[in-house]
Amino acid sequence: MISSSIQNIIFDLGGVVIHLDMPRTFAAFAQLGAITPEQANQLVHKDPLFLSYERGAVTPQEFLNGLRHLLGKPLSDEVLTEAWNAMLLDFPPENIELLRSLKKSGKYRLFMLSNTNIIHIEEVHRRLEAACGEKDFSRFFDKVYYSQNIGARKPDPEAYQVILDEWNLKPEETLFIDDNQGNLLGAEQLGIKTLHFQQNSSLPAIFNNGSGK
C-alpha cells in the first residue's frame, strides 16, 4: 500500500501511464539512416538536439531538421515523425480506470511530470482520445507538467521544485513514481518520496502491494 503519509502523487508518463518501447525508435532510426540501433540510442540520450527539444529550446520543425541532418538523408517530416513516435505504445485500460478512480476519490492531489516534447505530446493525446475519449489529461490530474513547457527536465531538481512551489506541497507528503531510476535522484534531493516502477508493469498493483520509500 502507498504510505498513509502521502497526500500528493506525481506520475511519470512513458513506461508508467502509457506503455513505452524506446528500442522501437532506435530501430526505426537505424533503418532510416546509416547508423546502428546502438548509435541511435546514444544519439537520443546524448546529442544536445534531443535534450534541447525536451526543454522547449527548439521548435518541432527545428528538431525534425536537426534529426534529418543527424540521420544524413533527405527524409520527410512525416517519416521522421513516425520513427520518433514508434516508441509510444498503448494506454492499458486498467491505468485509465485507476487514474479516474484516484481522481474521483479525492484522496490525493495528482500530477504528471514527463520529459517529453510537442511531437510526442500530440501523439500521446491522440492515443488517449482513442483509448478513452479524453483529449488530454486534465480530467485525471490536478496539473500536468511537460519538460518542454517548464524548461527543465528530470532529474534536474528544478523540474520537481516547480510543482512543489506552485502547489505549496510538502516533499515528505509527496510521492514520485518513475520507471527510470535515475530520474528519482532529483526528487530525492528535495526530500520527495520515490517509487521505482518497473517499466510497463501493473500500475494498479502498486496501490495494493507497493510503497514509496
- Give the domain ranges of the chain: 8-20+89-209, 22-87
The predicted pLDDT at position 1 comes to: 65
CATH number of 8-20+89-209: 3.40.50.1000
User: How do the pLDDT tens digits run along the chain, 213 residues long?
Assistant: 688 999 999 999 999 999 999 999 999 999 998 899 999 999 999 999 999 999 999 999 999 999 999 999 999 999 999 999 999 999 999 999 999 999 999 999 999 999 999 999 999 999 999 999 999 999 999 999 999 999 999 999 999 999 999 999 999 999 999 999 999 999 999 999 999 999 999 999 998 854 445
Q: Is 168 left (phi over 0), alpha (psi -120 to 50) or beta?
A: left
Burial class of residue 151 in the structure, from the number of CB atoms within 10 Å of its CB (0-12 exposed, 13-18 middle, 19+ buried)? middle
> Which value, to the nearest 10 degrees, does the dihedral of the CA atoms of residues 200, 202, 204, 209 take?
-130
The predicted pLDDT at position 33 comes to: 87
The predicted pLDDT at position 210 comes to: 44
Q: E strand or H helix at 62, and its extent? A: helix 60-71
Q: Domain 22-87: which topology?
A: DNA polymerase; domain 1 (1.10.150)
Whether residue 28 contacts residue 195, with contact meaning beta carbons closer than 8 Å, is answered with: no
